[in-house]
Structures are given as structure tokens and as C-alpha cells.
Amino acid sequence: MDKIDYNTLNAKQKESYNYQMISAVLAEYGYTTYRMHDDYHGADFHAVHVDGHVLKVQLKSRITIHYKYLNKDIFIAFSNDRIKWYLYPHDEIFEIVTNHSGGAKDGGHRSIHYIPKWLMPFISKFEL
């Protein structure tokens, strides 16, 4: 078997790859994941802890905030480098980003392709 080159994958293949990777990381924290194929209530997948607690998770390739995720108890999972994974409560980071930058951009959402220095103290506590 040969390992794949992530950069050669198409968007759907990258999403599947990232789902498998975050699932492996979450397993170390006692979670089993269940993929939702229709963004059920804003979630790409549910993560169920051994104690029964359920997280609704939206999988992204970068830090993302969006009005459509507000007040839905959604967590955002992303990897900055496919090594470190982050799982943050959307509404908490939404408030921090919009307060810092003067609001969400581009029709109610904002996507940041790197972790800005000013955001690192807030997002680092959600590193898995």
C-alpha cells in the first residue's frame, strides 16, 4: 500500500479524509463519531462520548464563523496543519472574532485560513 498525497485529493475526498482523522483523535477522548450526510441541524457529524454526551460538529478546513450556526450548540472542528486539531464552540469564537474584527464578513460569515496571533490565546485552549 502507498500513502496518499492529501494535496491530490478533491474536495469531497479531503472532507472524508479529515472526518477519519478527527474521528481518530476524538476516539482518544472517549468519543465515537457518526457522520451525517445531510448537515443535520448544521452538523457534519455527531460525536457521542462514552458517558452519553453528544456534540454536534461541523467539520471545516479552517477557523469559521457563520450566522447560520448561532444558537445551535455547534462545535467547529478544523486542523491548521493536519497534525494539530481544534474543536471549539462556535458561538464563543463567533463572539470573539466579531468583537475583534467589527463583525462577520461576506454575508454573515468569516473564514480565516490561519490562526491569527490575536486569536491564539482563545483558540489554543480548544486544541486536542
Q: Report phi then psi at 83, rounded to 5.
A: -120, -55
Q: Looking at the domain assignment, is residue 1 inside a domain?
A: no
Per-residue pLDDT at 73: 96
As for how many domains the chain has, the answer is 1
Residue-wise pLDDT for 2-34, tens only, equals: 999 999 999 999 999 999 999 999 999 999 999
Q: What range defines the domain where residue 51 resides?
A: 6-126
Q: How far apart are CA 86 and CA 63, in angstroms?
A: 9
What's the CATH number where 106 sits? 3.40.1350.10
Q: How far apart are CA 46 and CA 35, in angstroms?
A: 6
Q: Looking at the domain assignment, is residue 79 inside a domain?
A: yes
Q: Looking at the domain assignment, is residue 112 inside a domain?
A: yes
Percentage with pLDDT > 70 across the chain: 95
Residue-wise pLDDT for 56-65, tens only, equals: 999 999 999 9
Choice among 28-32, 34-38, 108-112, 123-127 with the minimum mean pLDDT:
108-112
Q: Looking at the domain assignment, is residue 27 inside a domain?
A: yes
